[in-house]
Amino acid sequence: MGSAVIETNIDGILQTLTLEEKVSLLAGKDFWETVPIPGKNVPAIKTSDGPNGARGAVFSGGTRAACFPAAVCAASTWNPTLSKRFGNALAEEALTKGARVLLGPTMCNHRHPLGGRNFESFSEDPFLAGKLAAQVVTGLQEKGVAATIKHFAANEQETDRLKVDEIVPERALREIYMKPFEIAIREANPWAVMTAYNLVNGTHADAHKYMLEHVLRGEWGWNGLVMSDWGGTNSTADALNAGLDLEMPGPTRFRTAEAVVEAVKKGTVSEATINARAKNVLELIKKVGGFENPEIPPERSVDDPAHRALIRETAGEGLVLLKNDNVLPLTKENAKGKKIALLGLAKEALIHGGGSASLHSHYRITPEEGLRNAYGDDVEFKYAKGAHTYRQIPPLSDNCTGVDGKAGWTAEFFEQGSTGKPLETRNGLKDASFMPLLDASAKSKDLKFTATFVPQQSGAHYLSCSGIGPTKVTINGEQVFEQTENSPDAMAFLFGGNPEKEFTYSFEKGQSYKVQVFSAPPASEGDDAMEGILDGFPGFRLGFMDQQEHDEDLLTPAVDLAKECDYAIVFTGHTPVWETEGQDQFSFSLPKDGSQDKLVSAVAKVNSKTIVVNSTGVAVAMPWLSEVGALVQAWFPGQEAGNAIADVISGTINPSGRLPVSFPKRIEDAPAHGNFPGTRKDGQLTVRYEEGVFVGYRHYDRVSQDKVQFPFGFGLSYTTFSLKDASVAQRSTDVFTAKVKVANTGRRTGATVVQLYVGRAEESADHPVKTLAAFQKVTVEAGKEQEVELTLALRDFAYFDEASSAFKVDRGRYKFSFGQSTANIESVVELDIEGSRELKL
């Protein structure tokens, strides 16, 4: 069917719709689907999270799905070809969940190491992020599934994310924060864009005319669908006029037929605007084949062997070897007959971060399982936990009986403010927690949870509690906990990371205790008034742990084990509650309370062959770095985590991952330090991007390299490489060809990343020393060399001139720097460039 027929068809459908029907298309039907109009042959289409796998409709414990590596791990491959295959597979996964729109990739920049969703995004560098994201988009859409690049724009923190005002200079906005979106749009034409929650320079992103109308649809000429983040619509007329097509989720808050029709009557919104918004919704339905096949099939769990292999390949290529004092690889031959201590998080598969990126994976390979798979019975593995790493003690569940006399808890829902008869009663709930999302019947209700608890031992026990709104806990009628205010971050509560104050209570073994939790919806007025998708919902969790388990000494047995072993591998990192959507990182140090750092240092003191495998999506403090023999940054590598880690440790694959972010030594050395997460005045949080364009390596290039633990682009291999014989030629006014020879100077085949940076020969305080402008991953056999050719254009290293509102390259002499990281530049070519007054990008 030709494009003219498609266009006529869409216009024809639009003409049959009443104003009210057009308005109905502009918000979701429910949490994941759009609104159908059956009488006019307009079907609904389904969306699904997320950036590292298609989860489906249920947030926790739903249909199983493949868990791919987080974007920061995928970015560490520096491999666009792999990114396209990644997109192909994500599309196939989305279709198994009945979804035709995938909510990803996430492509905001890593502005600060404490950013809560950094792991979901690719890089601190907009060029690298844009190039890789474009390939993911291409891979998705060539399989018929719409990509939704997000979150547009300047969504670099989670603290107060619904209303924080990001004050960003125009140059930084265009050159750093919008640039990845621009590259993806120009190179891959994503069918959808999701706006951010936050304000940008005083205006909510969903109603930002400059970003949506002037830049996105104007300068960039893009004509796809703009949707809000979930609960991220903040107005009726303003958002419609700015270009927000679809409010999600449904039912609508701002786009009822009454509200929009009234706005049309008043003239604050024109019917032409409604037509334009509705047409974009219809166009998206057409692009994903909704009119041809309107069915939304039930979700299926399809464990595809090809996806398994791709996940393992991507993870293995994304792991970064950061230190190696001749400890790795630990080959099967060298490990035979050895005793290896597995410590820390060895039995936990840290496959994804928290929030939209979480899913119910088909399986998850722990590091212990992966290593046992790799070495078999030739190696004796022994395990010790070594450190307390929980963020919240688990909810009270065992030995509890509900009001009905059966195992579990009883929940009762009451009319808000009422103490009368419950509106609804549920029995057999497994534990003392209630997560309200998708449970619409709970909205605007008071909640009471009740159980009779019979402890199995006497003495003090630890409890903890938190709620979305005011919450209290009683034991045998005595109040033991009360929270009078709303949660400081309800989304953090939802994703399991709200801080909770622990307290103790003494129980007698075998006695019966009536435990009740009362949870009210959050207050809707005042400084802590609830906003977003959890507005009006009660919710809580009551944690419980016996004192012996809580206070157990885990360090001593781990150190004793490390002493008797030939090697010690310590697995450190963030579980999803420590690194999650909904809140920024608690600390630059590994959790909890220094326990993981103490474990590494204590083990390294007694075992000279200590290897650390760190699974975080961000840089963390590493006070023990000089004490350990090797360090692998494993990120969140997806469901094949343990196998991919074992592939690198054993030398089955030669590590080729390179850092897509800089690792500072101290949080104080980060360029945004002091301007993150902002300052609060009269209830409004404001963060100023005072570092401007000097983000990541652009900042570290201007200060002492002593502040950098590991530089952008860095990564080791089990072989060595050198770059030589570099040259640069200008093929046309704005296109350059660069060549360099890559020599493998080691003893085994491996891959490195040729990185080409461009900067002014005469450094300027107004501009970065150098900017990534081209890169290519290349595999070279041992003792061989290979010539690499890179093509780049003026636009790849242009800056945004605020005075002329245009990108430009000034006339002058420039350095073309070839390296394997920003701190390892091996060849520099200087060239005089005529420059450009204005570049149409």
Strand order in the sheet with 225-227: 47-48, 101-102, 146-152, 192-195, 225-227
The pairing of beta strand 146-152 with beta strand 165-167? unpaired
Q: Is residue 229 flagged as an active site residue? A: yes
CA-based nearest residue to 290, from 29, 35, 8: 35
- DSSP annotation of 488 reads S
- Please state, as a whole number, how many other Cβ atoms lie within 10 Å of the Cβ of residue 523: 15
Instruction: State which amino acid sits at residue 227.
Output: M
Three-state secondary structure call for residue 557: helix
Amino acid 3: pLDDT = 39
Under the banding of pLDDT at 50, 70 and 90, the label for residue 526 is low
As a whole number of angstroms, the distance between CA 753 and CA 658 comes to 8
The mean pLDDT of 311-340, rounded to a whole number, is 97
**Burial class for 382, CB neighbours closer than 10 Å (0-12, 13-18, 19+):** middle
As a whole number of angstroms, the distance between CA 450 and CA 282 comes to 48
CA-based nearest residue to 578, from 329, 825, 355: 355
Work out the widest C-alpha separation in the chain, in whole angstroms: 85
Please check whether residue 676 is in contact with residue 111, taking contact to mean a CB–CB distance below 8 angstroms. yes
Strands of 20-143, DSSP E: 47-48, 101-102
CATH H-level, domain 400-550: superfamily: Galactose-binding domain-like (2.60.120.260)
As a whole number of angstroms, the distance between CA 346 and CA 387 comes to 11
Whether omega before 751 lies within 30 degrees of 0, making that bond cis, reads: no
As a whole number of angstroms, the distance between CA 609 and CA 327 comes to 7
Amino acid 277: pLDDT = 98
The string of pLDDT tens digits covering residues 154-180 is 999 999 999 999 999 999 999 999 999
Please check whether residue 624 is in contact with residue 645, taking contact to mean a CB–CB distance below 8 angstroms. no
Amino acid 175: pLDDT = 97
Report the alpha-carbon angle 28-30-34, nearest 5.
35
Helix axes 271-287, 3-16, angle to 10 degrees: 130
The pairing of beta strand 409-415 with beta strand 471-475? unpaired
Q: Name 809's Cβ contacts closer than 8 Å, sequence gap at least 6.
A: 794, 797, 798, 799, 833, 835, 836, 839
Selecting from 1.10.10.60, 3.40.605.10, 3.90.1150.10, 3.40.50.1700, what CATH number does the domain 305-388+552-707 have? Answer: 3.40.50.1700
Task: Give the chain's length.
Answer: 841
- Please say if the pLDDT value at position 824 is more than 50: yes
Amino acid 733: pLDDT = 86
Residue written as tokens 């742990």? 545
As a whole number of angstroms, the distance between CA 765 and CA 768 comes to 8
Under the banding of pLDDT at 50, 70 and 90, the label for residue 4 is very low
The mean pLDDT of 574-601, rounded to a whole number, is 94
Q: Name 162's Cβ contacts closer than 8 Å, sequence gap at least 6.
A: 197, 198, 231, 232, 531, 532
Q: What is the DSSP string of 287-307?
A: HTTTTT----PPP-----HHH
From the candidates 49, 229, 446, 796, which is the catalytic residue?
Answer: 229
Average pLDDT of the chain is: 95
The string of pLDDT tens digits covering residues 693-716 is 999 999 999 998 889 999 999 999
Alpha helical stretches, state H, 683-748: 697-700
Domain boundary assignment for the chain = 3-54+65-287, 305-388+552-707, 400-550, 719-839
Amino acid 191: pLDDT = 98
- Please say if the pLDDT value at position 7 is more than 60: no
- Please say if the pLDDT value at position 470 is more than 50: yes
As a whole number of angstroms, the distance between CA 512 and CA 501 comes to 25
Q: Name 510's Cβ contacts closer than 8 Å, sequence gap at least 6.
A: 454, 455
Under the banding of pLDDT at 50, 70 and 90, the label for residue 587 is very high
Helix axes 80-96, 126-141, angle to 10 degrees: 40
Percent of the chain with pLDDT over 70: 97
As a whole number of angstroms, the distance between CA 297 and CA 35 comes to 16
The mean pLDDT of 561-589, rounded to a whole number, is 95
pTM of this structure: 0.95
Helix (H) or strand (E) holding 140: helix 126-141
Selecting from 1.20.120.1200, 3.40.640.10, 2.40.50.140, 2.60.40.10, what CATH number does the domain 719-839 have? Answer: 2.60.40.10
Under the banding of pLDDT at 50, 70 and 90, the label for residue 840 is low
Query: Which CATH number describes the domain made up of 3-54+65-287?
Result: 3.20.20.300
Instruction: State which amino acid sits at residue 708.
Output: V
The string of pLDDT tens digits covering residues 749-793 is 999 999 999 999 999 999 999 999 999 999 999 999 999 999 999
The string of pLDDT tens digits covering residues 648-696 is 999 999 999 999 999 999 999 999 999 999 999 998 999 999 999 999 9
The string of pLDDT tens digits covering residues 609-637 is 999 999 999 999 999 999 999 999 999 99
Instruction: State which amino acid sits at residue 835.
Output: G
Cα 836 to chain centroid distance, Å, stands at 37
Amino acid 838: pLDDT = 67
- Please say if the pLDDT value at position 528 is more than 70: no
Please check whether residue 537 is in contact with residue 443, taking contact to mean a CB–CB distance below 8 angstroms. yes
Looking at the chain, the number of H-run helices and the number of E-run strands are: 20, 39
**Burial class for 293, CB neighbours closer than 10 Å (0-12, 13-18, 19+):** exposed
CA-based nearest residue to 87, from 127, 145, 42, 44: 145
CA-based nearest residue to 370, from 647, 652, 657: 647
Instruction: State which amino acid sits at residue 122.
Output: F
Q: What is the DSSP string of 250-283?
A: SSPSS--HHHHHHHHHHTSS-HHHHHHHHHHHHH
What are the structure tokens assigned to 611, written together? 């290897």
CA-based nearest residue to 718, from 650, 643, 629, 624: 650
Amino acid 439: pLDDT = 77
What are the structure tokens assigned to 199, written together? 């304000």
What are the structure tokens assigned to 511, written together? 């006695």
Instruction: State which amino acid sits at residue 411.
Output: A
Amino acid 5: pLDDT = 37
The string of pLDDT tens digits covering residues 472-498 is 999 999 999 999 998 877 777 877 767
Please check whether residue 178 is in contact with residue 211, taking contact to mean a CB–CB distance below 8 angstroms. yes
Amino acid 111: pLDDT = 98
- Please say if the pLDDT value at position 808 is more than 90: yes
The string of pLDDT tens digits covering residues 30-88 is 999 999 999 999 999 999 998 899 999 988 889 999 999 999 999 999 999 999 999 99
- Please say if the pLDDT value at position 797 is more than 70: yes
Amino acid 522: pLDDT = 87
Cα–Cα distances in Å, from 810 out to 693, 738, 813?
17, 20, 9
Same fold, 305-388+552-707 and 719-839: no
What are the structure tokens assigned to 817, written together? 């720097």
**Burial class for 486, CB neighbours closer than 10 Å (0-12, 13-18, 19+):** buried
Q: Name 190's Cβ contacts closer than 8 Å, sequence gap at least 6.
A: 137, 141, 146, 147, 148, 149, 184, 224
Cα–Cα distances in Å, from 125 out to 317, 662, 802?
19, 10, 21
